[in-house]
Amino acid sequence: MNPSASLQRILHDIAALSADPFEGRLSGTAGARGAARYLADALAHSGAVPVGEDGFFTAIQVPAARLTGAAKLRVDGQELKHRIDYAEWSPLSAGGSAIGQLATVRFDEEIDQASLAGRIVLIPSRPEGFDVAGTIQSAADIRIAALLIESGHPKSFHKTVIGREANRIPVLRVQRSIAERYAGLEGIHVELDLPLETSTLPCQNVLGFLPGKDTGTTLLLSAHYDHLGDDPAGLRFPGSIDNASGAAVILEAARLLAGESHLPFNILIAFLSGEESGMWGARQLAADPPVPITMAINLDCLGFEPELNALRTGHAEPGHWLGDLAAKVIELEGIEVKRMAGGDDSAAFLAQGIPTIGLGQKPTLDSSVRIHTAEDNPEHIHAKPLEQGLDVLLKIIRQLNKTSF
């Protein structure tokens, strides 16, 4: 069966946003700026009017933890693999380098804190109720050089870019097998280099506008386009599901809506940056939109698995008029409604009192693609939920056309 023209365009846009030149679209990088230009050009081609401060663009400032070079960890002469054997513990790790002797700390044994100063400390198992933040604070206070903390046995470690400038020492998650291998080998040589920089950099929201018949009512359609960025000299993080998928579906909706002769109300299209480190683009837009926003639909993540079995709406309970309207449309399509709140840009608009739904596929299978890993790439994304998601989005908009505001 040949894909529809809309699905072909969506898949093309996902592949483009996921491609090498955009470098994983980490906020504040050349790759993210290239992705913003791509989306602005596509909006212009659709017929949308620019409503940013500079054409389609509005500048924002986004803090994030960004690697500026390749991470390295060598233990007893063996080079370990970043993201596979270990990874920085965001948002609790500082950047930095450390060279020294290994010390093992077990919480069921007496600890000579004075002997740990300047050492690289391995915690080979975490007791029940382990206080990660408190342990890191105490380690920094007694001048431990770095922490290696056992963190299970994932296929690969998830990446995040939330950071805190106040962090004081490098902290790494390590595979359980790695922790078991080196636990108790006191004094072996460890070299660590984590060029992780937490800073605020200029970024861009991309804003377009489709005027409607009711000029006093504006529906926002939004999706974040930023992702985690490729590791320098390491793994690629294309972010095809998170959230090239949402940006591509919103872009296709904009194309289709721009082709309608009479829109019932204004449509504001927003591609947002800074979601991965704290919803910064959404916060700024919610607080200072180019036109008053009457209601909003945010889309984040489609394509985890072959079917769109479940959609979240951004609301934990019924009773919100827009959430309930969306839930009825979703259920009529034979899709389960997942009552979940928070976790995406919709929360920023709800915090400003704007009626909002946060649409996104809720994975239901053990085999679903894992986001925040290198697995989230165009080869693994499932096409059918993209088309289903576009259909649900357009049906919600049509239902809004029948609603009095």
- Tens-place pLDDT, residues 236-282: 999 999 999 999 999 999 999 999 888 999 999 999 999 999 999 99
Supply the pLDDT for residue 3.
Answer: 73
- Residue 76, pLDDT > 60, answer yes
Evaluate whether 286 touches 345 at the Cβ level (below 8 Å). Answer: no
Question: How many angstroms separate the CA atoms of 192 and 361, rounded?
Answer: 38
pLDDT band at 403 (very low <50, low <70, confident <90, very high): confident
Supply the pLDDT for residue 405.
Answer: 65
Partner residues linked to 59 by β-bridges: 204
pTM: 0.95
Evaluate whether 142 touches 115 at the Cβ level (below 8 Å). Answer: no
Residue of 270, 282, 253, 237 lying closest to 375 (CA atoms): 237
Domains identified in the chain and CATH numbers: 5-61+202-402 (3.40.630.10), 71-194 (3.50.30.30)
Encoded amino acid at 50, one letter: P
Residue of 400, 47, 402, 36 lying closest to 218 (CA atoms): 400
Task: Identify the residue whose tokens are 């309930």.
Answer: 324
- Tens-place pLDDT, residues 145-202: 999 999 999 999 999 999 998 999 999 999 999 999 999 999 999 999 999 999 999 9
Residue of 309, 306, 308, 276 lying closest to 380 (CA atoms): 306
Question: How many angstroms separate the CA atoms of 234 and 353, rounded?
Answer: 42
pLDDT band at 2 (very low <50, low <70, confident <90, very high): low
